[in-house]
Structure 1
Amino acid sequence: MYSSTENPPPSYGQPPTAPPPIQYATGVPSQAMNSNGEWSTGLCDCGSDVSNCCITCWCPCITFGQIAEIADKGTTSCAVHGALYTILLLLTGCQCIYSCMYRSKMRQQYMLPEEPCNDCLLHCCCEACAMCQEYRELQHRGFNMSLGWHGNVERQNHGVVMPQFAPVEMKR
């Protein structure tokens, strides 16, 4: 009477089974992701993207702003992150503390290992290489870094802007 894929209707007095969870558009590219928890490129593979390597060496605030906007899922723009990075660089020289926080955030989001050493030490000693690796990782995960978070969301949704809403609760 019922196929193996259908659930029979609930019997009298038994609560109905829960419906499947609603899927919402997240804006995260659906392209192939590194499922083994490893970085897609090495720390010193900067030569694989020469244009990003040059931008990061001469104007790291641009690369950092792009990385931070994606890691923050668009809550703050690339320009704001880049400006904060530049202010910290010019006033304190400790911009590496700010940038290492975003490496840690990105590692947690994508379950990446903390290698070859601690995030803070890596950014203090080899900041340009670390930011180039983060940039390449986000590209590998399907982000077009020049579009920013919101541009990637639009691209993922094929130009259709999805309204932000939460599931409605039943009320008495």
Structure 2
Amino acid sequence: MSSTLVIKQPQPVMEARDSDEWGSRICDCCQDVPECCFAFWCCPCFACKTTKAYGQCLCLPLLDIFGCIPVTTMSMRVSMRQRYGIKGTMCKDCLYATCCTSCSWCQMSREMRRRKIQVVLVSAKNT
């Protein structure tokens, strides 16, 4: 009995920071109307799609259903701010995640599309 282990190595990417601000405001839904309609009418599906594109577990946003503060939405905003070097506070992230959940997911999706930066590898070696 033999087994084969296949390893897919990620490619190193150079990180480029072009701004320390969000590329769009929280209510800039007119920039992509179909996306905002999708987020408004089916926010859990849109959140799962965006989380998957960000490189996290597909079902992670479904945890928000069980709490009064959507901690997954908030933590995704914090993570995105950290990854892209965007200024902001956890207090604002909590406010947007709680009061404007679908708009918050739309803003994060627009930011990912605008930046088009892949995950940065640390200590990547060429062999």
Q: Show structure 1 runs of 4+ deviating over 6 A.
A: none
In structure 2, what is the equivalent of residue 136 of structure 1? 110
Structure 2: unaligned runs, 5 residues or longer: 1-9
Distance 2:34 2:69 in 1: 22
Deviation at 1:93, TM superposition (A): 4.8
Q: Are residue 103 (structure 1) and residue 69 (structure 2) matched?
A: no
Partner of 1:58: 41
Task: Please name the residue that 1:41 is paired with.
Answer: 24
Equivalent position amino acid for 1:61 in 2: P
Within the candidate set 33, 50, 55, 1:67 is matched to 50
Q: Rate the CA distance shift 1:87–1:98 in 2: closer, same or farther, 3 A.
A: closer
Structure 1 runs not aligned, ≥5 long: 1-23, 144-151, 154-164
TM-score by length of 1: 0.54
Following the alignment from structure 1 to structure 2, what is the Cα–Cα distance between the partners of residues 41 and 107? 13
TM norm structure 2: 0.70
Q: CA deviation at 1:27?
A: 6.4
AA in 2 matched with 1:65: C
> 1:7 matched to which residue of 2?
none
SS at match of 2:100: helix
**Of Structure 1 and Structure 2, which has the larger fraction of its residues in helix?**
2
Deviations 1:39-68 (A, max 9, x none): 111111011111110111111122212332
Q: Secondary structure at the match of 1:133?
A: helix
Match of 1:123 among 94, 97, 100: 97
Instruction: State which structure, 1 or 2, has the greater radius of gyration over its C-alpha atoms.
Output: 1
- Preserved CA contact (<8 Å) 2:69 2:94: no
CA RMSD after TM alignment: 3.0
- Report the CA distance shift for 1:132/1:93 in structure 2 as closer, same or farther (over 3 A): same
Separation in structure 1 between the aligned mates of residue 115 and residue 43 of structure 2, nearest angstrom: 21
